[in-house]
Amino acid sequence: MNPAHTYQQKTQHYRQHIKQLERQLRGLAWARLGIFLLAIISVYEYFHNDFIPVWLLVIAALTVVFVFSLVRYQRSQDKLNLYKALLDLNEKELLLATEHKAAFADGAEFIDDQHDFAGDLDVFGPSSLFQYINRTGTLLGKKQLADSLRQYPANAADIHQVQDAVKELAPQLDLRQLYTAQAVLAEEKPDDVKGLQAWFNMPLHFVGKKWLRIARILLPLLVIASIVYYIITGNYIPFSLMLVVNGLMLGASVKRVNEMYIHLGNKERVLHKFANLLQQVREAPWQSALLTQYKNTAAEADIALRKLAKTGNLLDQRLNILVALFLNLLFLYDIQCAFALENWKEKFKSQMPSWLDVIARLEVLNSFATFAYNHPQYIYPHVNDSPVTVSGTAIGHPLIPAAECVTNDVTIGEQAQFLIITGSNMSGKSTFLRSVGVNLLLAMQGAPVCASSFTCSPTRIMTSMRIKDSIARHTSYFQAELLRLQHIIQVLKTGERVFIILDEILKGTNSEDKLTGSLRLIQHFLEYNCLGMIATHDLELGSLEQKYPTQIRNFCFESSLENGDLHFDYLMREGIARNKNATFLMQQMQII
């Protein structure tokens, strides 16, 4: 089925259900008000009519119905919130499918001009690869997706595992969307996981003390005994003494309990949502190796997290005046909560990081699977650990709408180590470089690519395309470019496999110096374990093909004049470009 049609249907479906739930909630609200008024009337009748027992039965029945209506209302409210999240998700998917506008978070906070390739390949920021792919809802998942797009797997086996997982997830639309919606509803805040981690790093102050374990049970029992003693004898001194002892115990522990509360306070919501995500992972009918591994890791994790959420909520209640005055003094409420929390930490502390990791990594796989579902025409590349190679047919840029996307073939590594690509302005050189770079990045993520066929090896991508000067770093444009090229050479000297993409290098110097430097740089590249593409206006670089016929090949993009208008077909051809258009364009724009 056409993804756009599916999203249109789902959008209509959720809108209808939201209207129904909103009507239901209004009815429940009025019913609850009516039950409450009837209960008030029943209480009045009970006291006004000489305490007739039947009114107690009525009051009890109304109380049960009132509680039931509260539970029903909360469940309907939770369902409404979920449907609203699903509606928002499908509206965004529909917008992307029909108008090619991405409304998802763009990851602008991850922009780094010093990164090997992220800036040049538009990985982060508005209209970026990240915004196009991102279906994460938690901050954990968002960061994990950014980390994935900034790195690459070490071997083909890891990529194949991800491919298998993405292939299995892609058709499971309802499951994927439910996972995304639950992640969004977690409303994770930056301090949530930091608080949990800080609490995990705190030493155990309570469970390790044997005398305190005895005291937390014995003292409440003695309080109860003193109350019974007071009822029988009227002597309140033992009870008073026990309150003093408990108060001293609480005073000695209050600092440690406050530290716990600072890190764990108000975490019930996010912990419950994390538990929902892990329950979904645990119950999913997955078969691929990676997803099965995540299922095994998540086994019973949701139960443990819900227990932590409930215990943390009990700790939150210590701010209630009734709890503080009565339960604390009578039964050492703070200390009981502290013991329960430390017992949980002692049992599950080592497993918690892996649970959070599963949540984040599933969001990444979910994002790639959605990308695959939205582009059924894309193919999964063939990835192997053989000597580095990059080749493909009908390669296009995944961020360009299919109707506008012009595709080209490329083969690097088998017939040539480097491609020298010449062409006039606006002819498509830079777009082609990014098309190959972005698809290579996607291939190494285990995602499908925009091509008819694609073969590659895991390799480090390094680019120099949009060099910027920096006042803050006291670097000029030319110096910034030299520093980038120096970084590439330093990596090559380590023996690491590198795929290099350069666009119009050494722009910051005169033409003669630029040509000499470019020739020597390309010759230097040939000494290392690397492949690459270099786009340039320097037609003289085409002479390298004659000198290195098995290592360098020339390709070009051309423009043509048709009826006085400049025409581009964006198709790559063998050879060196012949046509120029800068003067013509300046005349057309009345610059000269």
Report how far residue 224's alpha carbon sits from residue 234's, in angstroms, rounded to the nearest whole number. Answer: 14
Distance CA 34, CA 66 (A): 9
Instruction: Look at residue 589 in the predicted model and tell me its pLDDT.
Output: 53
The predicted pLDDT at position 577 comes to 82
CA distance 431 to 569: 13
Contact 460, 492 (CB under 8 A): no
Residue tagged 């005349």 (tokens): 587
**Phi and psi at residue 527, in whole multiples of 5°?**
-80, -10
Nearest to 417 by CA among 491, 524, 495: 524
Sign of the alpha-carbon dihedral angle for 237, 238, 240, 245: positive
Structure tokens at 559: 């423009």
Q: What pLDDT, on the 0 to 100 scale, is given for residue 329?
A: 85
Instruction: Report the alpha-carbon distance of residue 521 to residue 528 in Å, rounded.
Output: 12
Q: Alpha helix (H) ranges present in 100-128?
A: none
| Closest C-alpha to 463, from 500, 431, 438, 436 | 500
Gap between the Cα atoms of 200 and 350, Å rounded: 9
Q: How far is CA 491 from CA 291, 488, 505, in A?
A: 34, 5, 18
What's the average pLDDT block by block, 10 residues per block, for the chain (592 residues)? 91 95 90 85 76 75 83 88 96 95 95 92 96 96 96 86 97 96 92 90 87 90 89 86 89 88 86 93 94 93 92 84 79 90 92 94 97 97 88 95 93 90 85 96 96 95 79 64 92 94 82 86 93 91 91 88 73 84 54 58
Which residues 6+ apart lie within 8 Å of 522 measured at CB?
418, 420, 534, 541, 544, 552
Token pair of 350 as six digits: 């080592």
- Angle, helix 289-297 to helix 352-374, in steps of 10 degrees: 140
Task: Please give the backbone phi and psi of residue 356, each rounded to the nearest 5 degrees, phi first.
Answer: -65, -35
User: Would you say 579 and 557 are in contact if contact means Cβ atoms under 8 Å apart?
Assistant: no
Residue 120 sits at the vertex; the CA angle it makes with 116 and 121, to the nearest 5 degrees, is 100
Q: Is the dihedral of CA 361, 366, 372, 374 positive or negative?
A: negative
- For residues 505 and 534, the answer to whether their CB atoms sit within 8 Å is yes
Neighbour-count burial of 188, counting CB atoms closer than 10 A to its CB (0-12 exposed, 13-18 middle, 19+ buried)? buried
Query: Are 157 and 184 a contacting pair, CB within 8 Å?
Result: no
Closest-CA residue to 374 (of 286, 450, 284): 450
Residues with Cβ within 8 Å of residue 397, at least 6 apart in sequence: 405, 431, 434, 435, 438, 450
